[in-house]
Amino acid sequence: MSFSIALAGKGGTGKTTVSGMLIKYLVQKGKTPILAVDADPNANLNEVLGLEVTDTLGNAREDMKKGKVPAGMTKDVFMSMRMEEAVAEEDGYDLIVMGQPEGQGCYCAANTILSNFLERLADNYPYIVMDNEAGMEHISRLTTRNVNTLLIVSDTSRRAVQAAIRISQLSKELNVGVEKSWLIINQAKSDPPEAVMKMLEAENLELAGTIPEDDAVYEYDLNGKATVNIPDDNPALQAAFRIFDKIIG
């Protein structure tokens, strides 16, 4: 049975960077192989990981809907072939990118095949890390799987914390069986103010920890360097690893 970890958060809070740090942590701890799923339409987890992506599941879905299935090939075989081609492989983990959301028209058949493929694929990995957009629509694709841990990434701003709380509330409404939700405050200049802690307490959303604002992380992101290659003694990375020790062990 796979252990699934989904990440969500308001844009600009560094959610994808934290996803990359989590994948780095799992690889170093020997918790491999990992299936990394980039479910954010603004896909850039591959850049954090330093991987080139040549195809997405969204492209496969579009091609199927547009009738680009070769003669003599069933839609199931076509989608399975395209989706297998979309898996980017790396030492310790594989990455698959969902791509852009559906356009106009019915995607029921393609989405059913896509969902079934993810279910079969996930069986090969003890850990799944899914980087989501704030709405978390893509989490519901894992229709028969629970989300063991939901990590909601925020910064110290009131708006970002409010967005995190809304995500926590949404996760309870979706039928994805979130077992435990945690808040990670990223890019922190100081400890969370008392007002923020009261907001979290009222929502019963537990703070996993804070990751400090860090110039090296900013420079890596600014220059398009793979954040996963940040040295192990980096303070932000070390803070993230302590959080992951608490959450995953």
One-letter amino acid for residue 238 of the chain: Q
What is the separation of C-alpha 43 from the centre of its chain, rounded to a whole number of angstroms? 10
Tens-digit pLDDT profile for the chain (249 aa)? Answer: 789 999 998 888 999 999 999 999 999 999 999 999 888 777 789 999 999 888 888 888 788 878 888 998 988 888 888 888 888 999 999 998 877 666 555 545 555 666 677 777 888 899 999 898 765 665 655 543 578 899 999 998 888 888 899 888 888 887 677 889 999 999 998 888 888 888 898 888 999 999 999 999 999 988 889 999 999 999 999 999 999 999 997
What would the two tokens of residue 140 be? Answer: 């519901």
Torsion of CA 235, 178, 95, 125, to 10 degrees: 110
Q: What is the DSSP string of 135-203?
A: T-GGGGGSTT---SEEEEEE-SSHHHHHHHHHHHHHHHHSSS---EEEEEEEEESSSPPHHHHHHHHHH
* Domain range 3-247, its CATH number among 3.30.70.580, 3.90.950.10, 3.40.630.30, 3.40.50.300: 3.40.50.300
pTM, two decimals, is 0.89
